[in-house]
Amino acid sequence: MLTINEIDVYYGAIHALKKMSLAVEEGTIVTLIGANGAGKTTTLKTISGILRPKNGTVVYKGKDISKTAPEKIVSLGISQVPEGRRVFQTMSVMENLEMGAYLRKDKKEIAADMENVFVRFPRLKERRKQMAGTLSGGEQQMLAIGRALMARPELLLMDEPSMGLAPLLVKEIFEIIKDINARGTTILLVEQNANMALSIADQAFVIETGEIVLKGSAQQLMKSEEVKKAYLGG
C-alpha cells in the first residue's frame, strides 16, 4: 500500500532521514519504534506531505506522492493523528470532528461517520458541545483519532498515541487501534511504548538517527536481544 524508497530528508543542514526505506502492506499494523529524535515523526510528516524528501520517493498505491500537497494526500486516503494530539482547543468536540471531514461533501455519510465516532467514544458524545481545550488528555487523544477517522482514511498514521496517558488509558487506546485496523484501516504507528506497539503490530521497523537498523515481524523484534536491551527494558 505504501512504500518509502531511500528517502533523504533535511531540516536545514541537519540530515534527518538517511536513505530510509520501509513498506506497509494493506490491512496490517506496522510500527516504527525508536528513541526520541530518531526520525519517527519526520517519517510521518514526509508521508503526509508536510516535509519533502530531497532524494527518494514515497509511493502510495502505486502513485508517487513525494511532491504532492498535504491536503491532496488527505483526499487520497491518508490521515494523521499528530503527536501531542493537536486538537483545535477553542472549538467544540463536534467542530473538531467536522474539521476532519473538511474535504468531504457527502453530508448524510458525514453525519453517519460522526455517529460512529460517538459510538466508539461515548465520552466524546457526552462532551460534544464542550471546548476541546477543556478535555482531559485521554479525551483529547480520542478526539484526535476521531477527527482523523472523519476523513475516512484507508491509511492512518498515528504519532505517539499513548504519550502522556495513564496506563489504563494506554491500554484502551491500543484496543481502539486494534479495532480500527480490524474494520479495514491500515495503520502506521509511531510509538515510544515499544512493548505495547509490538504487541499489536504485524511488522516492525527500528529507526536510529534517521536510519532503519532492524526490521521484521513484530514477534521477531520482540524476541531480539538488541530490541529488548534498547527498547523493552530487558
pLDDT tens-digit series, residues 77-125: 999 998 877 898 899 999 999 998 887 888 888 888 899 899 989 999 9
**How does residue 1 score in pLDDT terms, banded at 50, 70 and 90?**
very high
Q: What is the pLDDT of residue 228?
A: 86
Q: Give tens-digit pLDDT for 11-64.
A: 999 999 999 999 999 999 999 999 888 999 999 999 999 999 999 999 999 999
Q: Where are the domains of the chain?
A: 2-77+153-231, 91-152
Q: What is the pLDDT of residue 192?
A: 85
Q: What is the pTM of this model?
A: 0.91
- Contacting residues for 203 by C-beta, under 8 A, at least 6 apart: 24, 25, 28, 29, 30, 31, 215, 216, 217, 218
CA dihedral over 31, 36, 37, 42, signed as positive or negative: positive
Tell me what percent of the residues of the chain surpass a pLDDT of 70: 99
CATH 3.40.50.300 fits 2-77+153-231, yes or no: yes
Mean pLDDT across the chain? 93
Residue 234 pLDDT exceeds 60: no
Q: What is the pLDDT of residue 10?
A: 96
